[in-house]
Chains A and B, each alone.
Chain A
Amino acid sequence: MSAVLGRRVGLTGNDAVALAWRQIDPDVVAAYPITPSTQIVERFSQYVADGEVQTQFLAVESEHSAISACVGASAAGARVMTATSSQGLALMHEILYVASGLRLPIIMVVGNRALSSPINIHGDHSDTMGSRDAGWIQLYCRDVQDAYDRTILAVRIAERARLPVMVCLDGFTLTHSLEPIEAYPDEEVQEFVGEGPADGYALLGGGEPISVGPLALPDSYMEFRRALAAAMERAREVIAVETEAFNTRFGRALPAFVEKFEMDDAEEAFLLMGSYADMVRDAVARWRRARRVGMVRLVTFRPFPAEEVARALGRIRHVHVLERADTLSTLGGPLGIEIRAALYDRVVRPAVTDVVFGLGGRELTDGEIDGLLRAPGAGDRLRYLGVRQEGGCR
C-alpha cells in the first residue's frame, strides 16, 4: 500500500478511511465491526498486525464497549478513532453524550445504514440522524475522496473544536464502491494532523489526580450544557478555518458547510446530503436548458449551518429536500424540518417540499428526479419517493 501513496489509487470508501487512519496513526482504536463499515476495522487491524502503525487496537465485545474505551482513552489524552454503522451506533448512543459532554475529540467514521426493523443492512441516514442531538459534529461525505479527505480533516476539527466528530459515508454506495482517489504521502498527512490533542485531560499524565465526568446536580448541570452549546457554536469557525487549511495544504476545494451547483440564478433547487449529489447534479445539468434549477449539498449537519443554507436558498421559489431518513413525527424527515427551521425567520423564503427517498438502500432513479421537476408539488409538505403503492410508484 505504501508504494502507491501520493498518486491516484483505486480504493473503496472503507479502504480509503483505513488508509487515512494508517497515515494518521492514532494512539487508540477501539471498534466492533458491523456492516457496512466492517472493512475499516478489518483493514486497520491488518495494519496494526503488520506493525505499520503504533496504534493500540482494542477488539472489544460490543459497540457500547468500543465507544466507552474510546472515551477513557481520549480522556487520558490519546488520539482516538472508531467506526460503526446502524445498530452499532444505536448501541453507542448512551456514551455518545458522555463523549461530547466531556469534550473529547474522538473521531468516528460511520458507514450509514438503516435501522431495524425490518432488518436491513443497506444505506440510509436513519442511524446518524438518530444521533443528531448527541453533541457530535457531523460531516456527510459525497464520494470516496471526500471520505478520505474528511477523515483526515476531522482530526484537526475535533481537536481544535474540542468536540467529537462523526464522518458519515453512505453505506455500500461509498463504503464499498471502488473509486479512483488521490492519496497523499504519509508525511504530509502526519504533518497536517500534528502530534495529537495537546490539551487532553491527561488522566494518566501524573500531577494532581482529577475526576472526569462527576455528578452535576441541578445547581450546575445546566451551566455545563450551555457551555457545550457554546462549543458547538464556536465549532463553525473551527470547521471553516480548518477546512481552508486542508484545502491549502492538499490543493483541494472542499466546501466547509454547503456545496452549491448552478445556484447563482436558480429558481428551484434540490437540497441533499451525501452520495447522491453527483446523480442530482447530472439531473440539474440535464434540466438546465429548460429550467433554472440548482442543487445544494449540505456537508456539515452539526453544527447546523443555518446562515449558509438561508443564503444559498435566498431567492429560490421552491426547494426539494431529498433526504434518506424519517423522523416519524409526521412532519417529515430531520433534514427537511431543520431546513424549515433555518428559513422560518426569513422574510423571503422558498416553499419546502420534504422528499424522503432511498430508505434501506432503495435506489433513486433519474426518472424519479425528473418526475419531481415535472410535478414539483409546491404545495406538498412531505412526499415519499419511490414507494410502491396502488397504481405504481410515486
Chain B
Amino acid sequence: MAGSVTWRQLDRGPVIPGGTSRGFSTGDWRQEAPILDLDRCVHCMLCWLYCPDSSILVAGGRVVGIDYEHCKGCGICAAVCPPRASAIRMEAEGA
C-alpha cells in the first residue's frame, strides 16, 4: 500500500489478500545456502514438507530445485534429508 492508501480507506483493520509474501525476497539475508545434488535425491519430499518458506521447487511429484529468492538458509531441508541420500548440503553463501 506504500504511500497510497489514506486512513479513511482503512475501515476494516489490517486485512490483506493471502500470499502477498510471495512478492518479498526473503533470500537476501541468507548466510548459508542449501546445495541440492539431484543425482542423490530420492524424491522422498521430506524437504518439501518441512521447508518453512515453500522454497523446495517441485514438478510432477519430483524435486527439481530450490527457490533461492525465498530460501532463508535455515538448513532444515538438509537436516531432514535421509542420511543415506544426503542430497542436500549447506554451504556458506557466496563460497
A350 on the B face (CB < 8 A): no
Contacts A219-B1, A220-B2; is A210 near B7 (CB within 8 Å)? no
Chain A residues within an 8 Å CB radius of B3: 219
A344 on the B face (CB < 8 A): no
B18 on the A face (CB < 8 A): yes
B95 on the A face (CB < 8 A): no
- The contact of B20 among A211, A213, A219, by CB within 8 Å, is A211
A219 to B1, CA, bound (A): 8
Main secondary structure of the interface of B (DSSP, over half): loop
B10 on the A face (CB < 8 A): yes
Contacts A209-B19, A211-B20, A224-B7; is A219 near B2 (CB within 8 Å)? yes
A361 to B39, CA, bound (A): 74
Of all chain B residues, the one with the shortest Cβ separation from A221 is B14
User: B1 near A101 (CB under 8 angstroms)?
Assistant: no
- The contact of B14 among A216, A222, A226, A231, by CB within 8 Å, is A216
Interface residue total, chain A, C-beta cutoff 8 A:
24
A214 to B14, CA, bound (A): 6
CB B90 to nearest CB in A, in angstroms, measures: 28
- The contact of A103 among B5, B12, B16, B20, by CB within 8 Å, is B12
A339 to B28, CA, bound (A): 53
User: A223 near B18 (CB under 8 angstroms)?
Assistant: no
- The contact of B10 among A162, A201, A213, A223, by CB within 8 Å, is A223
A230 on the B face (CB < 8 A): yes
A230 to B14, CA, bound (A): 15
Chain B residues within an 8 Å CB radius of A162: 12-13
A208 on the B face (CB < 8 A): yes
- The contact of A213 among B7, B14, B17, B18, by CB within 8 Å, is B14
Residue-wise interface mask of A (12-52) relative to B, using a CB-CB cutoff of 8 A (1 in contact, 0 not):
00000000000000000000000000000000000000000
Identify which of residues 212-250 in chain A touch chain B, using a CB-to-CB cut-off of 8 Å.
Answer: 212-214, 216, 219-220, 222-224, 226-228, 230-231
- The contact of A101 among B2, B14, B16, by CB within 8 Å, is B14
CB B92 to nearest CB in A, in angstroms, measures: 29
Identify which of residues 73-119 in chain A touch chain B, using a CB-to-CB cut-off of 8 Å.
Answer: 101-104
User: B13 near A210 (CB under 8 angstroms)?
Assistant: no
B59 on the A face (CB < 8 A): no
Chain B residues within an 8 Å CB radius of A103: 12-13
User: A220 near B5 (CB under 8 angstroms)?
Assistant: yes
CB A221 to nearest CB in B, in angstroms, measures: 9
- The contact of B13 among A102, A209, A226, by CB within 8 Å, is A102
User: B7 near A226 (CB under 8 angstroms)?
Assistant: yes
Chain A residues within an 8 Å CB radius of B6: 223
User: B13 near A220 (CB under 8 angstroms)?
Assistant: no
A387 to B65, CA, bound (A): 73
Chain B residues within an 8 Å CB radius of A210: 15-18
User: B20 near A227 (CB under 8 angstroms)?
Assistant: no
User: A230 near B19 (CB under 8 angstroms)?
Assistant: no
CB A42 to nearest CB in B, in angstroms, measures: 33
CB A230 to nearest CB in B, in angstroms, measures: 7
A226 to B6, CA, bound (A): 10
A142 to B6, CA, bound (A): 40
CB B23 to nearest CB in A, in angstroms, measures: 12
Contacts A220-B5, A226-B7; is A214 near B16 (CB within 8 Å)? yes
Chain B residues within an 8 Å CB radius of A224: 7, 10, 13-14
Of all chain A residues, the one with the shortest Cβ separation from B24 is A215
Residue-wise interface mask of B (1-45) relative to A, using a CB-CB cutoff of 8 A (1 in contact, 0 not):
111011110111111111110000000000000000000000000
Contacts A220-B2, A224-B10; is A209 near B18 (CB within 8 Å)? yes
CB A58 to nearest CB in B, in angstroms, measures: 23
Chain B residues within an 8 Å CB radius of A104: 13
Task: List 10 A–B pairs whose Cβ atoms lie within 8 Å, in order of A's numbering.
Answer: A162-B12, A208-B17, A210-B15, A210-B18, A211-B18, A211-B19, A214-B20, A222-B7, A227-B8, A230-B7
List A residues at the B interface (Cβ < 8 Å): 101-104, 162, 201, 208-214, 216, 219-220, 222-224, 226-228, 230-231
A223-B7, A230-B8 given; name 19 further pairs at CB < 8 Å.
A102-B14, A104-B13, A162-B13, A201-B15, A209-B19, A210-B15, A210-B16, A210-B18, A211-B20, A213-B14, A214-B16, A216-B14, A220-B1, A224-B7, A224-B13, A224-B14, A227-B13, A228-B13, A231-B11
